[in-house]
Structure 1
Amino acid sequence: MNEVDDAELKKVMADFLELGHVENIIAMYRHDPRYYDWTGEILDDERFAVRIGVSVLFEELTRLEPEQTQRAVPSLAVLLQSESANIRGEAIGVLGIIGGEKAISQIRAMENDPSPQVREMVDLVLEESA
C-alpha cells in the first residue's frame, strides 16, 4: 500500500477546500488534531477559494471543538510575517474566528501593519471580538 506524504496530503486538503468539500476536512481535523498545525501552510495558498474554505472550516470547527482550534494559532502567526498583505489579512481573519487570548494578542500585534487593508482587518476583527 502506498503511503501519502504530508506535502501531498496538504495539497489534497487544499484541493478539497477549493472544491467546497469542507465537511471532509472537518472530519479529518476532528479525527487527527495534528492537522491544526498545518493550517497556516494550507491557508498560504494563491487560490482564493482555498483561503475562503479555511475560514469556513474554522467557523465550523470553532463551533464543534473550540478548545482544539487554539492549536492552529502558532501556524497562523507565522503567516503574519508574509510579504503578501492578502495572506496576512486572511490569517488575521482566521485568528479572529478562533478567538481567545493567544489569537487576539497576535492580531493586536498587527495594528501598525504597513498595509491599510491589513490594518482595516485588524480593526474589524478586534471590534467584533470586543
Structure 2
Amino acid sequence: MSPDPVTIPDKEEFKINEVCEITGVKPFVLRYWEQEFPELAPAKQPGGQRVYRREDVELVLRIKQLLYEEQFTVAGAKKRLAEERQAATAPPAKLDKTTSDQVQKLRQALANVKRELAEIVEELSS
C-alpha cells in the first residue's frame, strides 16, 4: 500500500526544518543525502542556513521513495536517478518502418471507430 501523496506548500524556498516536516526525514539524513546525491545541493545563506528549492524537496521525496519504499540501496538509488535523468533528456526514439506502419494502421482503425461512433450518435439523436 503506498502512502498518501505529500503536498508541498506553494513556495519556492524552504528551510531545512520545513523540508524535514514535509518529507518526514530527519535533518541528519538530509545532510547525509546531500553528500551522497550531488544533485541535492541546497544553497546556503550567509549564516550557513540551508535553503532548499522546490525541486530539492521533490528530489528528497523521490530519494526517500527509492530508499524506503522501493528498498534500493544508496548506490541503486543513485543509478536509478541517473537513468531517470537520462530518460528525461534523451531525444525520442525514431520509429522503424514496421513500427511506423503499425502506428498508421492503428490511427486508421481509431479513425474508423470514431466515424462509426459519430454515425451511431447521429442515429440515436434523430
Report the TM-score when normalising by structure 2. Answer: 0.26
Structure with greater helix share of residues: 1
Structure with greater strand share of residues: 2
Report the TM-score when normalising by structure 1. Answer: 0.25
| Greater C-alpha radius of gyration | 2
